[in-house]
Amino acid sequence: MSETVSESVSKGPLRLGLVMTDPLRVLGLQTIFEGMKDRVVEAVPLSVPGALDASGVSLILIDAACTEHIFELLTSFRRKRPHLRLIVLGMEEDHEYIQRVIGAGAKGYLAYSARENEVRLAIEIVEDGSAWAPRKVLAKLLDQTDAEAERRKASIPKITEREGQVLRLLIEGHPNRAIAHELGIDLITVKAHVGRLMRKVGVENRIALSMQAVSRKLVS
């Protein structure tokens, strides 16, 4: 199957939901979105109950302060909208709390103190299908699935040269867009490579793929 060389790897507009009640925080995020020169982001204000039925959005930022029942809300999203990607914003920086947030169904967590570039990168990483959280939190979550991973890795998968190139960049933490730019291929091709690599390695997400690739020395 041939690969298409991409002249540009820019993504289309992103319609992003905001579940938060602090007008200053909303304004701050909108300023960050406007500063994303290579991406148009439309921020859509949502209420706590209305977010569960929101249409046309693929990613939602939730301020933990807008509800006293953040874990129940995340569980409801996971049950009713399992494919919707969620990033929680909060004042907590305790790793156990963040681990609970990710375990409840969020794909990312950002502290209020997060810098602008962290917010932008978190959105891009989560949109690509990976998770955004402190490394120690992600490591603990992966440890919980080590036994399952061990059962799946009975043999070393055969990886093509191009898949190896994608995997190396993935391990370095590059999002799909950066991988496409580096290798001169389009985003669809990158996603196809990542999907095949996950199936070959026997994992279900990019973080687990990167960790398994390092521990099993799948790339030099």
Who contacts 138 (Cβ-Cβ below 8 Å, separation ≥6)? 102, 131, 207
Residue 7 pLDDT class (50, 70, 90 cuts): very low
Between 199 and 138, the higher pLDDT residue: 199
32-68, pLDDT tens digit by residue? 988 877 778 888 888 887 788 888 888 999 999 998 8
Confidence bin at 214 (pLDDT 50/70/90): confident
| Half-sphere exposure at residue 35, Cβ-oriented, CA atoms within 13 angstroms | 11
Distance CA 114, CA 110 (A): 6
Structural domains of the chain ordered from first start: 14-133 (3.40.50.2300), 145-215 (1.10.10.10)
Strands 59-63 and 14-19: parallel
**pTM more than 0.75:** no
| Structure token digits, residue 101 | 């947030």
The sheet with strand 59-63 has its strands ordered as: 41-45, 14-19, 59-63, 85-90, 108-111
List of long-range contacts for 37-40, beta carbons under 8 Å, 24+ apart: 38/10, 39/10, 39/11, 39/13, 39/14, 40/12, 40/13, 40/14
Nearest to 142 by CA among 214, 207, 75, 217: 207
Dist CA 27 CA 33 (whole Å): 10
Averaged over 11-37, what is the pLDDT? Answer: 87
